[in-house]
Amino acid sequence: MNMTQTELLKDRAILKEIERYKWLESEKAGHDIGFEKASRDWMNRYSREWMKYHRQPRGLTIATILEKARQLNHFQFNLLFKK
């Protein structure tokens, strides 16, 4: 998934990560680094890996749904017609 930084900043989960990053980096620096710097740094350092982990398909995919349907149909066929 390729999203612009503006689109990413509309995601509440990403904003939460940036706020967390801002707090940690501000603590290290001894002063508030500001949201703009924090968001720019977070995007450059962590956004790709964060997106890979948090936006990857989980659970059922079309392929797994079709495979499960095929298995179920085969099982039902055997129940109905095999003696």
Residue type, 81: F
Extract the tokens encoding 5: 């930084």
pLDDT value for 61: 67
**pTM value?**
0.62
2: three-class secondary structure by DSSP: coil
Tens of pLDDT along the chain (83 residues) come to: 346 777 778 888 889 999 999 999 999 999 999 999 999 999 999 988 888 877 766 666 666 667 777 777 666 656 656 65
Every domain of the chain and the residues it spans: 5-81
pLDDT value for 7: 78
